[in-house]
Amino acid sequence: MSYTNTKKVLIAIIVIGLLLSGFTLIADAYFVGSSESDVFHKPSCFYVDRIKPDHLVYFDTVREACNAGYRPCKRCNPPPCPPTLPPPSPPEVTTKDATGGTYATLNGYLASTGNCVCNVWFEYGATMSYGRSTTKMSKTTTGEFSEPISGLTPGTTYHYRAVASNAEGTVYGLASSFCVLGPPQVTTIAASSVSTTSTTLSGNLDSTRCLDCLVWFEYGTTTNYSNSTPEVYKSSPGTFSKHISGLSPGTTYHFRAIALNREGIDYGADRLFETPTQKLPLRIGAFNIQVFGKSKAGKPEVMDVLADIIRTYDIVAIQEIRDKDQTALPQLVDLVNSKGVHYDYVVGPRLGRSSSKEQYAYIYNNQTVNLNGTPWTYPEPNGTDPFLREPYIAAFRAVNGSFDATFLVMHVDPDKATEEINALDAVVNYTKNEYPDEPDFIVLGNLNADCSYFDKDSNCSICGDDYYWCINNSIDTTTSATNCTYDRIIITSPAVPDYTGDSGVFRYDILYNLTEEETKAVSDHYPIYAEFYCDGNIDTPEKRGYPPLKFSRHDPKLYLIAPILHP
């Protein structure tokens, strides 16, 4: 064989080997394409034989071919390209409403897995900090998921949210909440405004346990009760009251508050109240507390005495409040109420011609008297200035009874005592025009109406038959060595039938066993008082069986201790 022929044989063998290797690759491949086109084929396709060997492209899967940008051949019809998958991402989760009562089922919705396996669970607790979580659940598909929880406290609001996590991150559903259902909880509160024939019953709906409730009272002379008030709808916790009447004087009554919802009923504890056999008189008074401000309010031993004194009054007119910060008076009233009573106050503007200004206030027991209208300060006529500190005027009426009167509190300038006292008649007449249907007026306070300050021989316009001075010259109203009746309670003549005849100074030093130093630390004045019938507006004292009022004006001064009627 020639060299040329041998060379041709070797070339043929090589070509055949390459073709056979190409056929082997094609046979082994799942799908075949050409680098010169964008179509892939099955290995057995007619078009595969026409692709040059060096242009052959091999694919193990349809997705591999499709991801390389090839499309299926329309002749051999390999499987179509699957949908393109987005890149992995965090999941999406939604919190849904919980269901249940003393237990609950928490519900959520996995809106997206993020193309990854997810864990889903819930966080929950009595605050937005949660603090508790359910067992994690694995999910590979979107959809709802739930988890029951138990051991919940009735009436408690629980907060919760759905959580989902995958390799790409953790996401939280919006926070939601549910309330655990149960019977309501109610507390009976002490009765108030107890009179001979009526009272106000009170209760507190402590918890509705997330449901609308009906509340009412049962009452009677025994714990079997025999009466009930109408049911009242309540949708939220809080106090509720009902005034009842038709009671018997001098009788002990039992009562309790009741609450009902669709989960059950709750009874408050039994409580008692006793109707008085007769109406107690109202104690009216005035007290110059001598420079009452932050300094005196900072002395607990003094404030305790002041609070004890005020609790003996139904209405007390306070003078000489010197407190630019306006904190001492609220502090005192809070201390008064710390013993379970219910006093309120109104206070006037700061008055005076210099930088040293004073205020008046009325502190009153709102269980025995009500404020009638808005208090006001006497407007001095244009071009006049009769008072260093103009009177502060307020009207009150009894809660249980017909007594009502208008009060004018005054702290007279000692240097102008005669002039200011003589100007008070004009204030009363002005006030009568403001209250045309009210005949009863009470002027009270430190009038400096004695000793060297007040000229008793002057033409006193408020000393005539139209007025009655309940605190007369036989009473020393000072705590010092002086012997003067500076403080006064003066009433108009129509109010005299309402006056019981009992008046004087409250000797707190004797009653509380104070030293002279402790007494003067409270004030240089004793508080004064006068008592009035609750059922006023009776023409004469004789109609009540009491003698006409007569008082001596002799010295020495009388030292009277006011009994405590309203502890």
- What CATH number does residue 217 fall under? 2.60.40.10
Q: CB atoms < 10 A from the CB of 339, how many? A: 10
162 shares a domain with 106: yes
Total domains present in the chain: 4
Percent of the chain as helix, strand, coil, to the nearest 5: 20, 35, 45
In a domain, 316, yes or no: yes
In a domain, 553, yes or no: no
Burial 5-25 (b: 16+ CB within 10 A, else e): eeeeeeeeeeeeeeeeeeeee
Instruction: Return the closest-CA partner of residue 263 out of 182, 179, 206.
Output: 182
Question: What is the rounded CA–CA span in Å between residue 97 and residue 89?
Answer: 26
How far, CA to CA in Å, does 164 sit from each of 89, 142, 557? 12, 11, 88
Which residues neighbour 5 within 8 Å (Cβ) at sequence distance 6 or greater?
A: none
In a domain, 563, yes or no: no
Expressed as residue numbers, the domain containing 159 is 92-179
239 beta partners: 204
CATH code for position 58:
3.40.10
247 shares a domain with 168: no
Q: Tell me which of 230, 249, 274 is where a domain ends.
A: 274
Instruction: Return the closest-CA partner of residue 515 out of 482, 479, 483.
Output: 479
In a domain, 43, yes or no: yes
Residue 79 DSSP label: P
Given a contact cutoff of 8 angstroms between Cβ atoms, the answer to whether 102 and 180 are in contact is yes
398 shares a domain with 346: yes
Question: What is the rounded CA–CA span in Å between residue 124 and residue 172?
Answer: 12
Assessment of whether the complete model's pTM goes beyond 0.85: no
Strand runs labelled E in 262-347: 264-267, 271-274, 282-292, 315-321, 343-347
123 shares a domain with 40: no
306 shares a domain with 389: yes
**How far is residue 50 CA from its own chain's centroid?**
90
419 shares a domain with 441: yes
Question: Which tokens hold the place of 60?
Answer: 């193990």
In a domain, 82, yes or no: no
199 shares a domain with 173: no
Strand runs labelled E in 399-550: 404-409, 441-446, 467-469, 487-492, 499-505, 528-532
446 shares a domain with 531: yes
Q: Nearest 5 degrees, angle CA 381-CA 387-CA 393? A: 80
Largest CA distance in the chain: 173
Q: Tell me which of 149, 179, 209 is where a domain ends.
A: 179
3-state secondary structure of 511: helix
Strand runs labelled E in 28-142: 31-34, 39-41, 56-59, 71-72, 92-99, 104-112, 118-125, 132-133, 137-139
**Confidence at residue 250, expressed as pLDDT on a 0 to 100 scale:** 87
Question: What is the rounded CA–CA span in Å between residue 567 and residue 544?
Answer: 27
**Confidence at residue 210, expressed as pLDDT on a 0 to 100 scale:** 87
Question: What is the rounded CA–CA span in Å between residue 205 and residue 299?
Answer: 39
Task: Render each residue's pLDDT in the chain as its tens digit; 567 residues.
Answer: 555 565 555 555 544 454 444 444 444 558 999 999 999 999 999 889 889 989 999 999 998 999 899 999 999 999 999 877 677 778 777 776 766 656 789 999 999 988 889 999 999 999 999 999 999 999 999 999 999 998 888 888 899 999 999 999 999 999 999 888 889 999 999 999 888 788 999 999 999 988 999 999 999 999 999 999 999 999 999 999 999 998 988 899 999 999 999 999 999 999 999 998 767 899 999 999 999 999 999 999 999 999 999 999 999 999 999 999 999 999 999 999 999 899 999 999 999 998 889 999 999 999 999 999 999 999 999 999 999 999 999 999 999 888 999 999 999 999 999 999 999 999 999 999 999 999 999 999 999 999 999 987 778 889 889 999 999 888 999 999 889 999 999 999 999 999 999 999 999 999 999 999 999 999 999 999 999 998 755 434 433 333 333 333 223 333 444 444 433
Annotated active-site positions, please? Answer: 358, 411
398 shares a domain with 324: yes
In a domain, 449, yes or no: yes
302 shares a domain with 253: no
392 beta partners: 377, 409
In a domain, 498, yes or no: yes
In a domain, 147, yes or no: yes
Helix axes 328-337, 300-310, angle to 10 degrees: 60
CATH code for position 348:
3.60.10.10
Q: Tell me which of 41, 72, 103 is where a domain ends.
A: 72
Strand 441-446 relative to strand 39-41, pairing: unpaired
Strand 315-321 relative to strand 282-292, pairing: parallel
474 shares a domain with 402: yes
191 shares a domain with 132: no
Question: What is the rounded CA–CA span in Å between residue 232 and residue 245?
Answer: 18
Question: What is the rounded CA–CA span in Å between residue 499 and residue 486?
Answer: 21
